[in-house]
Amino acid sequence: MDLKKTMLDKKVWAVIGATPDTSKFGYKIYKRLKNHGYTVYGVNPNYTEVEGEKIYRSIAELPEKPECIDMVVSPRISEKFLDEIKENGIEYVWFQPGTFDTAVIEKAESLNLKIVYKNYACVLVELG
């Protein structure tokens, strides 16, 4: 089965890099998932809320374990979150375009995470 479809069938997501800035993908992806009926948690230590909804500083703070993580941050920050993702028993990670480099993908693969990153895979596009 297509890994993208498997992930999109998961109903609890966390967006790393969620932001109240409506011009940024961290906002657009967070909102698009919510508008499509997903339970979505924002993770970004720089903000406390997006439109009145709590934003968390780390994955460990989330009230429930997400089934899938969507990365909307720089590769340097993506790489920092990978260990926390693995430690929390999350296996699915979707890297938006621009959120990964070779080191990030190699680390994700070494942690045996199931990842989507090729062919400009974008949640916004997939959810229309």
Beta strand ranges found along 17-126 (DSSP E): 39-43, 49-50, 53-56, 68-71, 92-95, 114-116
Phi, psi at residue 32, to the nearest 5°?
-65, -45
Give me the domains of the chain, ranges plus CATH numbers.
3-126 (3.40.50.720)
Model-wide pTM > 0.85 = yes
- The predicted-structure confidence for 3-62, as pLDDT tens digits, reads as follows 999 999 999 999 999 999 999 999 999 999 999 999 999 999 999 999 999 999 999 999
Of 46, 52, 2, the residue nearest 24 (C-alpha): 46
